[in-house]
Amino acid sequence: MTIFNNLKQHNSKVAKMLVDNRVDVEEINGIISFSMLILSSVISILLFFMTFFNTFYSNLRSGYLIWFFASLIMLILLKPIQRRISSAVTMYIGYSILLIYAVITSCFVTPDFICVTNSRFTY
């Protein structure tokens, strides 16, 4: 009987270690996704201020401002989803949506930046 009790205690310790490791992985994924959001926000703010005083790319700054606010809204919208699925899946879903959104805004909001052959690109 004592062997069975020892085995039961050992199994509960192993199960606790597995749960603790899963929590650590979730925390690491959450830190990675949050740091990627901070990095993308900093890059978009820098690009916004780099193009703020340049009148040649006057419509470029609105595209990056929209992209910055979209990343913040995406963080708010994905918080309830993040409780149900893992942080890594949330990160991949969110940033794939943001990548598609950034491509769309680059093509339609800032046509001078993408379409080099545009007539407004030349003086």
User: Could you state, in order of their start, the residue ranges of all structural domains in the chain?
Assistant: 31-121
Distance CA 86, CA 30 (A): 9
Selection from 107, 94, 90 nearest residue 41 by Cα: 94
Would the pLDDT of 122 be above 50? no
Say what the alpha-carbon torsion angle 90, 96, 102, 103 is, to the nearest 10 degrees.
Answer: -170
pLDDT digits (tens, 9 = 90+) for 49-97: 665 555 445 555 555 556 666 666 666 666 665 556 565 666 666 666 6
CB 78 within 8 A of CB 94: yes
pLDDT for the residue numbered 117: 43
Distance CA 4, CA 2 (A): 5
pLDDT for the residue numbered 6: 55
Helices (H) and strands (E) in the chain, counts: 4, 0
Taking the whole predicted model, whether its pTM rises above 0.95 is answered as no
Would the pLDDT of 115 be above 50? no
